């Protein structure tokens, strides 16, 4: 059968149902409201009416002008952008840059920014820590700090695997808030439970926040969750079996990431969406800060 000029070709599966034009084999009953090509849940982007495909969002369907206020949004209401992995790339670059600086400057740099409750540091030769010297910055700087090659390699690998799809689904600002608050929550729980003189560093709290958010998002999109659950289970086993790992940061980040993502992707449509999303992030942030304040009061 001949195809009419200009009409998109629609692949179909053996049952006669259309399949996504970008992902062969995925059945779908959803079509882009602009080009009318079939799209799966991975490709559909919320618009003011119905859903649109990434190609139409990127090109503006040949309108020749910038999208207006009703431009398509991500599932969490974020702005659709040309590079959906920009924040992930920037976070990767920051972590790698800090790692290189740590290698160049040595232990003194590492000890200055590691999370520690309070102790006399033999390298710096002075009392250090959140409680010992009001060094609150350590709760966040430690999230970008790595000392071992294997540590930063696996954390950055997971950041790339999990961060890119999450950033695309949530939008840049929401993804960045998820990452930073999850990392802070992991640090706060470590500060609360770990010994005051025990040092902790690494992006693991933030990475586990991405794990929690990915599970929430996949459940929301009704994807097969077995692969991500299996990967999380393997990492949790390593967390509690391998020596020298701050499991508190992993658990704190996981819980915070799941809570934030739930508020982001399940917020009601309309004017209340941003308020609910902002409120969820603020609540998790306040809980994290509250934990740190309680611990500081106990130690001082």
Task: Evaluate if residue 5 carries a pLDDT over 50.
Answer: no
For the domain made up of 1-72, give the CATH fold.
Answer: Herpes Virus-1 (3.30.40)
> Can you give the pTM of this predicted structure?
0.77
Class of domain 86-299: mainly alpha
Dump the DSSP string for the chain: -PPPTTPPP--B-TTS-BB-SSSTT-B---B-TTT--B--TTT-EE-SSSEE-HHHHHHGGG--S---TT--B-TTSPBP-S-TTHHHHHHHHHHHHHHHHHHHH-HHHHHHHSB-SSEEETTTTEEESHHHH--TTHHHHGGG---SHHHHHHHHHHHHHHHHHHHHHH-HHHHHHHHHHHHHHHHHHHHHHS-TT--B-SSHHHHHHHHHHHHHHHHHHT---HHHHHHHHHHHHHHHHSTT--HHHHHHHHHHHHHHHHHHHSSPSSTHHHHHHHHHHHHHHHHHHHHHHHHHHHH-
What is the pLDDT of the chain when averaged over all its residues? 86
pLDDT, tens digit (0-9, with 9 covering 90-100), for 94-121: 999 999 999 999 888 998 999 988 887 7
- pLDDT, mean of residues 189-193: 95
36-40, 241-245, 286-290, 293-297: which is most confident = 286-290
Percent of the chain residues past pLDDT 90, beyond the cut? 54
Active site residues: 204, 250
The reported pLDDT for the residue numbered 71 is 60
Domains of the chain by residue range: 1-72, 86-299
């Amino acid at each position: 059968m001949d195809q009419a000029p200009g009409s998109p070709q629609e692949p179909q599966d053996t049952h006669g149902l259309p399949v996504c034009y970008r992902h062969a084999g995925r059945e779908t009953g959803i079509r882009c409201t602009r080009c009318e090509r079939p799209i799966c849940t991975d490709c559909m982007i919320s618009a003011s009416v119905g859903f649109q495909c990434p190609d139409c969002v990127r090109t503006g369907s040949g309108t020749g002008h910038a999208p207006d206020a009703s431009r398509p949004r991500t599932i969490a209401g974020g702005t659709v952008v040309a590079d959906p992995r920009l924040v992930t790339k920037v976070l990767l670059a920051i972590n790698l840059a800090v790692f290189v600086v740590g290698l160049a400057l040595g232990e003194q740099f590492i000890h200055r920014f590691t999370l520690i409750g309070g102790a006399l540091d033999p390298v710096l030769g002075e009392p250090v820590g959140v409680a010992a010297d009001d060094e609150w910055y350590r709760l966040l700087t430690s999230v970008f700090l790595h000392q071992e090659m294997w540590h930063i390699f696996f954390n950055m690998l997971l950041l790339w695997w999990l961060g890119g799809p999450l950033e695309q689904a949530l939008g840049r600002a929401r993804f960045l808030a998820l990452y930073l608050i999850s990392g802070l929550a992991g640090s706060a729980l470590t500060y609360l439970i770990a010994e005051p003189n025990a040092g902790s560093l690494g992006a693991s709290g933030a990475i586990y926040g991405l794990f929690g958010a990915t599970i929430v998002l996949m459940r929301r999109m009704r994807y097969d969750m077995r692969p991500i659950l299996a990967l999380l289970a393997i990492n949790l086993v390593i967390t509690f079996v391998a020596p020298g790992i701050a499991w508190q940061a992993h658990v704190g980040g996981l819980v915070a990431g799941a809570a934030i993502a739930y508020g982001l992707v399940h917020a009601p449509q309309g004017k209340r969406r941003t308020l609910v999303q902002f409120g969820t992030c603020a609540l998790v942030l306040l809980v994290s800060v509250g934990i740190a304040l309680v611990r500081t009061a106990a130690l001082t």
